């Protein structure tokens, strides 16, 4: 997985962000399983995946709050 820029994430629609979030959560489960089995070659992927998930969640929450208020 490549590092994704904030500008690229902000450019995505809400539907695409939700789809990407689902993909990342699945990827995170796979990474955690590999880490538990000691077969993960790049442990930094866990950190970058967590950060991208957090960024997407933050953006989605901002968009929802902007709609409601």
| Within a domain: 34 | yes
pLDDT digits (tens, 9 = 90+) for 1-12: 456 788 999 999
pLDDT at 2: 56
Sequence-distant (6+) residues with CB within 8 A of 35 are: 43, 46
Domain assignment of residue 26, yes or no: yes
Residue 45 lies in a domain: yes
pLDDT tens for 4-53 read 788 999 999 999 999 999 999 999 999 999 999 999 999 999 999 999 99
Q: Which of 17, 51, 4, 9 is nearest to 31 (CA)?
A: 51
Q: Structurally, how many domains does the chain consist of?
A: 1
Q: Is 2 a member of any domain?
A: no
**Is 24 a domain residue?**
yes
Inside any domain, residue 15 = no
Q: How confident is the model at residue 68 (pLDDT cuts 50, 70, 90)?
A: confident
- What six digits make up the tokens of 5? 């820029």
- Per the structure, the complete domain to which residue 53 belongs is given by 20-68
């Amino acid at each position: 997985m490549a590092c994704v820029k904030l500008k690229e994430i902000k450019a995505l629609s809400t539907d695409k962000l939700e789809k990407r979030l689902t993909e990342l959560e699945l990827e995170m489960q796979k990474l955690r399983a590999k880490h538990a089995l000691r077969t993960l070659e790049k442990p930094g992927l866990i950190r970058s995946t967590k950060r991208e998930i957090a960024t997407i969640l933050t953006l989605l929450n901002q968009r929802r709050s902007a709609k409601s208020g």
